Amino acid sequence: MASVAIVTDSTHYLPAATAASEGIHQVSLYVGWHGAPERELEMGAFDAFYARLREEEELPSTSQPSIGDFLAVWEPLLENGSDIVSVHLAGGISGTCEAARQAHALLVERGLGERVEVVDSERACGGEGLLVLAACAAARGGAEREAVVARVEEAKRSLRMWFCVDTLEYLRRGGRIGRAQAWLGGTLRIKPILSLESEIVPVERVRTAGRAFERMVDYAHELRERGCDGWVVQHIQAPDQAHRLIERCREIFDSEPVFTSEIGPVIGTYTGPGLIGVGGVPRTLLS
């Protein structure tokens, strides 16, 4: 039985130590201003990027990995005898998964296609990260490629993730606003609460940051009631709010988070600073 290697892209935003300890292989997306894209995985701390994002009138551009980027990660794994499950950013908001499928098609021509499975996570950030960890757990337990994919699909069905942003302006300017388009043009200053299910999905609007925070706490209670006790908190340039939410979630779940982290530039370009989010899956899917 071949071992199964887990590959993903840089938009999971798992802590670096977690990705390393789980043996996750990564393909980077790109982001940058004025035709000078950088590999997101090589950017280090995000503070300077977000400071510039606040100041620049023009959004940076983002781009998916190339077919060659995928093959550069996959081919050594195949040569070492591993099968691959490659879990990627939602196809509804990025061409990353399609690029992975095109790379897979080249492997099919070489007779290697059956050893690689490309999975559209239909999520990003913490949601994508949880699905990747579910894949890692299955592979670590000795599951074959098809069973690893089945674990990811099971986790996808149970996954719930919500996030609030300071403004819809970044999503509007970046063309990723999805069904939240209907909320543009209102006269009231609002704090949008959103989800991602292949595309950006509007959940509700609240008037204040305080109310948005309390709604995140309410959603954490909903996660617990659904049995989604493998919980995560993520943020963008909002460490104090994230810390407060983590403390509240510890009380709700009586457990530590699976992980917490800051969301990086590729996704942050379209949401802007100030995001805070919570989500989870059943913890049993991660072990």
Write down the pLDDT at residue 181. 63
Write down the pLDDT at residue 205. 87
- Classify 118 as helix, strand or coil: strand
Average pLDDT for the chain: 93
Tell me what the mean pLDDT of segment 199-224 comes to: 93
Interior CA angle at 61 toward 55 and 67, to 5°?
155
Write down the pLDDT at residue 44. 87
**Beta carbons of 84 and 51 less than 8 angstroms apart:** no
Each residue's pLDDT tens digit, 65-98: 999 999 999 999 999 999 999 999 999 999 999 9
Each residue's pLDDT tens digit, 171-186: 888 776 665 565 655 5
Does an H or E element contain 61, and which? strand 61-63
Report which of 143, 153, 130 is spatially closest to residue 5, judged by C-alpha positions: 143
Tell me what the mean pLDDT of segment 138-148 comes to: 97
- In the chain, % of residues over pLDDT 70: 94
Write down the pLDDT at residue 276. 97
Write down the pLDDT at residue 170. 85
Which tokens go with 257? 């988070």
Each residue's pLDDT tens digit, 233-279: 999 999 999 999 999 999 999 999 999 999 999 999 999 999 999 99
Write down the pLDDT at residue 200. 82
Write down the pLDDT at residue 187. 42
> For 168-219, what is the HEC assignment?
CHHHHHHCCCHHHHHHCCCCCCCEEEEEEECEEEEEEEECCHHHHHHHHHHH
Which tokens go with 265? 């530039």
Each residue's pLDDT tens digit, 186-205: 545 678 899 988 788 889 98
- Greatest mean pLDDT range, 90-94, 153-157, 206-210: 153-157
Q: How confident is the model at residue 168 (pLDDT cuts 50, 70, 90)?
A: confident
Tell me what the mean pLDDT of segment 153-160 comes to: 97
Write down the pLDDT at residue 180. 58
Residue 12 has pLDDT above 60, yes or no: yes
Q: Give the integer Cα–Cα distance in Å for 170 and 157.
A: 29
Residue-range domains of the chain with CATH:
4-157 (3.40.50.10170), 160-286 (3.30.1180.10)
